[in-house]
Structure 1
Amino acid sequence: MNKTVELVRLWGEYEQRHPDASIEDFCRSQLATAIKKKKTVVFKGQLQPDLNGALVKLISRIGKFHMVYTNKALEGTGLDQIEEFGMLVTIFNQKNPIKSEVIFSNILDLSSGTNILGRLKERGLINEYTDKEDKRVKRLKLTASGDETLKKAKQQILKVVAMLTQDLTEDDKQLCLQLLRPVDARFSAVIQKQKNKSFKEIFEENKSAL
């Protein structure tokens, strides 16, 4: 069958089932259908994740690859771990933020974040000063050394992320961002409020979407 004719037929069928859907929705549906046709071999007796588990497991594994390679790439830059880099980036981008903003923006607890900031301060990468309007508030800024360290580390980080995503096309990357940003938006808005709650409470608050 002519590919154009087949495409029109598939779109017509999809539009009947989903009259309010966009062309982007249709394209994602076709991609998902093609992936489903590729069977995954499951050995008898093995524990296998469901679809949700498989997705989160994959994201988690990629995150671990990122952490391992980034920590190696940062050797010799003046930074020891990705969290330190993230904090310097936050201070640079937010223009003299308060300490809690830096810590919570990097999804860290207060004690761990404070310790990391302390190490950065000891190395002369950041300065802490009292807010002019509210003496109780401590603000942070990069030193000249911190700015130079950030630039050096950034070049290494760019190499890591380029290496990790080299097998994806630019369209693939844009699609991944589009699909995963809603997850980031949902939990970025609530994670700090839920840190001191039990998982049962957290699940109850979020299960409305399940």
Structure 2
Amino acid sequence: MNKTIELVNLWGAFEEQHPTGSIEDFCRHHLAKQSQQNTQGTLVGGTVPPVNDGLLLKIIGRISKLNMNYANIALKGTCLNQIEEFGMLYTIKQEKNPRKTEIIYANLFELSSGTDMLNRLKTRGLIVEYNDMEDKRSKRIELTEKGEIAVETCKVKILKNAAMMVHDLTDDDKELCIQLLKTIEIKFSSMWQKHKEKDFEEIYNEVVETTETK
């Protein structure tokens, strides 16, 4: 096949799967598919899912859990006990004085467990809570001086842990992973709240039918 035609066909297949992808993303994607890395060790613990959908999600899940384990080790000796607490505090820092529910849902917590975590952070003097002047039913949260110090101190450790976890990936590898996975995160982050009370089959049909009709 003519190389120009082959390239056009490869680009067309990539663009169909990743309509927002750039030429740089395409090049990273193509090189990643061509490269054959000799990976040592056993892939995922326990049963290896027989289909790629399950295997991909198991790999992502295990990496996420390993990241939490190592991050929690990195946080030892600080005033934070787990990476989820850092996520809560960092959300507050970025948003300045967000509503309590905004913090909880942004970090993918259920209302009860997220409220419990914020209460523990408040008890330890890291945040303050006060009434929302625009909505008396809501509460807003701000970092205390102690909380600000905790965020900056722990941010260094969390970033160091992140660098360790992806140390073996090149910058292009990282960009490719982000490009491939970000649409899943964006999609389901926007939907999970409305899906909580629905039956799974209803959710499945809604998500799959919506995707297939586009």
- Report the secondary structure of 1:129's partner residue: strand
Can you give the 5+ residue segments of structure 1 that lack an aligned partner in the other structure? 1-7
Residue from 9, 13, 16 that aligns with 2:6: 13
Q: Is the 8 A contact 1:121 1:127 kept in 2?
A: yes
> TM-score, structure 2 length as denominator?
0.82
Change (3 A) 1:166 1:133: same
1:14-71 deviation digits (Å, cap 9, x = unpaired)? 41476585744365245325559x9xx9xxxx76431111211111111011011011
- Report the secondary structure of 1:128's partner residue: strand
- Report the secondary structure of 2:142's partner residue: strand
Structure 1 residue 155: Cα displacement: 1.1
Question: Alignment RMSD, CA only?
Answer: 2.6
What is the 5 A alignment of 1:111-190?
111-190=112-191
Equivalent pairs: percent with the same residue?
45
- Report the secondary structure of 1:141's partner residue: strand
Change (3 A) 1:180 1:11: farther
In structure 2, C-alpha distance between the alignment counterparts of 1:74 and 1:186, rounded to whole Å: 31
Q: Which residue of 2 aligns with 1:76?
A: 77
In structure 1, C-alpha distance between the alignment counterparts of 2:96 and 2:135, rounded to whole Å: 17
Change (3 A) 1:127 1:205: same
Residue identity opposite 2:70 in structure 1? Y
Q: Please identify, of 78-87 and 192-201, the stretch whose mean Cα deviation from structure 2 is larger.
A: 192-201
In structure 2, C-alpha distance between the alignment counterparts of 1:126 and 1:15, rounded to whole Å: 55
Change (3 A) 1:200 1:146: same
Structure 1 residue 152: Cα displacement: 1.1
Q: Which residue of 2 aligns with 1:4?
A: none
Structure 1 residue 202: Cα displacement: 1.3
Relative contact order (alpha carbons < 8 A, sep ≥ 6): 1 or 2 greater?
2
Structure 1 residue 136: Cα displacement: 2.2
In structure 2, C-alpha distance between the alignment counterparts of 1:16 and 1:141, rounded to whole Å: 52
Can you give the 5+ residue segments of structure 2 that lack an aligned partner in the other structure? 16-21
Residue identity opposite 1:32 in structure 2? K
Q: Is the 8 A contact 1:128 1:139 kept in 2?
A: yes
Larger of the two Rg values belongs to structure: 1
1:159-209 deviation digits (Å, cap 9, x = unpaired)? 110110100011111111111111111101101111122211211111122
In structure 2, C-alpha distance between the alignment counterparts of 1:35 and 1:206, rounded to whole Å: 34
Q: Is the 8 A contact 2:125 2:147 kept in 1?
A: yes
